[in-house]
Amino acid sequence: MARVFVLMSGGVDSSCSALLLKRAGFDVVGIHLRMTSLNNCSYQDFQDAKQVAEILDIPFYVIDIEEDYKRLVMEKTIEDYKKGITPNPDVLCNSEIKFGLFLNKVANLNDNDFIASGHYAKKEGELIKIPKDKEKDQTYFLWKIKKEILKRIIFPLGDLKKEEVRKIAAENNLPVAYKKDSQGLCFVGKIKFSEFLKTYLPTQKGYVYDKFGNLIGYHYGYYFYTLGQRHGFWAKNGPWYVAKKDVENNVLVVAKENDEILYKDEIYYSDENYFKEIKDGEKIMVRIRYRQKLIPAYIYPSEKKVVFIEKAKLPTPGQSIVFYKDDFLLGGGVIL
């Protein structure tokens, strides 16, 4: 019997994943990753995961990865904001922690062992595909997983919609069936992300200019703002949207909604990861932020460049650009 380690966060998705895998005949082991001792992370999630494991009658273990999580995700996120870019901690958490560090923690995995999660994604062969529930599609956050471990990963919810998952959980008396989905980052908690950053990065007054070089307002530090943001700074005759950031001089350049300065013909990327070979000039679909619609583009892997067929609004340095073709996840990179 094949063994599968299910990452159980305490939510309905991972709980239902464990249920479905046990029903399918797998030897299921529940794993709860303790990522931080900060009060921002809910002790209730641990209790919920443990209770579900007891109901399913599966082994349940807690792995403490607080120091690794702090180093690989939390500190890296803060450092990127300090550089003036907007990172994606969820991508890091998946590639470095859930499908990276965790694999090393259970180094005795054999060829018949798998790892499963409650992500809304689908496996077809050894590739990841957009799931049935396109509203919940989480493939955007999975592009950085190492290609060689895809064969070890199972996504049990790929052919289900969220409402179907809740129904299955309720029919099997799982107490998390209608639990509210978690929002935000574990190490941030319920406060605004900008307030969290202020505990690590000091406020630093700077000036706001329009694209013509007119001084029109002020802000509190370039690292608190991302492209497209329209709140958190003061500028007369608004609303304005952040169009550019001058990190060296602590300056924001803003523009009115739909101004041409907010759009780009092409972008370059780094830290690339591919699941499948892509040819220069190949037409693909890309996503430059979570839940944004897919955008047609041409890709040039040799130059690490993407040319949009129609101009794209606010591709943001530090965020992920993710590549698709025929609903398959081809890979991704970090926008420069």
Residue 282 pLDDT exceeds 60: yes
Catalytically annotated residue among 78, 93, 130, 329: 93
16 belongs to the catalytic site = no
Specify the higher pLDDT residue, 196 or 8.
8
- pLDDT tens digit sequence for 215-246: 999 999 999 999 999 999 999 999 999 999 99
- pLDDT tens digit sequence for 194-210: 788 888 999 999 999 99
Catalytically annotated residue among 160, 169, 186, 322: 186
Query: For the chain, what's the residue count?
Result: 336
| pLDDT score of 323 | 98
Mean pLDDT within 9-29: 96
186 belongs to the catalytic site = yes
131 φ, ψ to 5°?
Answer: -80, 175
Residue 271 pLDDT exceeds 50: yes
Residue 84 pLDDT exceeds 60: yes
Domains of the chain: 3-171 (3.40.50.620), 202-257 (2.30.30.280), 264-335 (2.40.30.10)
- pLDDT tens digit sequence for 93-133: 999 999 998 877 765 666 678 999 999 999 999 899 999 99
Q: How far apart are CA 9 and CA 182, in angstroms?
A: 10
CB atoms within 10 A of CB 202: 10
Residue 39 pLDDT exceeds 50: no
Q: How far apart are CA 3 and CA 1, in angstroms?
A: 6
Q: What pLDDT band is residue 185 in, cutting at 50, 70 and 90? A: low
- Residue that has been written with the tokens 């499963």 in this structure: 116
